[in-house]
Amino acid sequence: MIKIIGFTKKKEGLTIDEFSRYWQEKHAPLGFEILPDDIHIARYVHHYAVPMEGLGGPAFDGVAEFGFEDMDMFLKWSAWFMGDGGQPLRDDEKNFMDSSSVLVVMVEERVIIPADEGRPDGIKLIAGVKRKSGLTPDEFKNYWYENHASLALEILPKAPNVQGYVHNYALAMEGLGEPALDGIGEIWFKDLDAFFESTQWFMGDGGLPLREDEENFVDASTRVAVIVKERTFIR
């Protein structure tokens, strides 16, 4: 599946709750109302940042995910959204988003641990990174999947409450230069308590092999991580 993952900040003056509510209750319905019948969105998900006490504000307040069955459908949607048809949506974004903060990456999804399709929308960690200096995008992608994911599959079941794990590999968008991120990982948890329990495991002896292996392919200084509440419109 081809996906667009977009990170954004709320408009100045709004709380995270106000930002999230406007996005869910006004902006999303507008999009469904004006989307042409011949454009098919295979997945549409909102992610609303969960404030973490004592950690300051989140890196981003919201993460959007659009999925398309193939590149042709994405290009059709993109032409519509950037043209006259999508103008009402682009105008409405100014009511709740800081347009200067938007970071968009086109990716190809690869499921490592399938998320439970029957679960209620829950807590997710979304983390994006750039590759280690000296690696090509393909070398980064291959190492992440063939080496790091294999290691994760070996030890992640020992981590409590991990309910899904997905890789998203960046795809170059013609005319837009180097992608802002080379990879975006998604890990699902039952709730915040489960996230904190898993984080404690990851930062302890249990997760040490994964942390050490990241040094082989990830530029840790580029990491962008957000803890979010997931709201699925189209699964």
- pLDDT value of residue 117: 58
Q: Residues near 93 by Cβ (< 8 Å), separated by ≥ 6?
A: 27, 99
- By the 8 A CB rule, do 115 and 164 touch? yes
pLDDT tens digits along 67-91: 999 999 999 999 999 999 999 999 9
Integer-rounded Cα Rg, in Å, for the chain is: 18
Whether 218 is in a domain gets the answer yes
User: Residue 165: pLDDT band by 50, 70, 90 thresholds?
Assistant: very high
Whether 7 is in a domain gets the answer yes
pLDDT tens digits along 26-59: 999 999 999 999 999 999 999 999 987 655 668 8
| Higher per-residue confidence, 105 vs 174 | 105
Whether 234 is in a domain gets the answer no
**pTM reported for the whole predicted model:** 0.91
Whether 132 is in a domain gets the answer yes
Whether 188 is in a domain gets the answer yes
The pair phi, psi for residue 115, each rounded to 5°, is -75, 150
User: Residue 135: pLDDT band by 50, 70, 90 thresholds?
Assistant: very high
Question: Has residue 172 got a pLDDT over 90?
Answer: no
- pLDDT value of residue 158: 74
DSSP bridge pairs for 5: 65, 105
202: containing domain: 2-229
Whether 235 is in a domain gets the answer no
- pLDDT value of residue 55: 55
Q: Residues near 54 by Cβ (< 8 Å), separated by ≥ 6?
A: none
Whether 47 is in a domain gets the answer yes
| Number of domains present in the structure of the chain | 1
State the DSSP H helix or E strand holding residue 90, giving kind and residue range, or none if neither: helix 87-93
CATH code, domain with 92 = 3.30.70.100
* Side-chain-side CA neighbours of residue 148 (13 Å): 23
Question: Has residue 156 got a pLDDT over 90?
Answer: no
Q: What is the mean pLDDT of residues 8-12?
A: 96
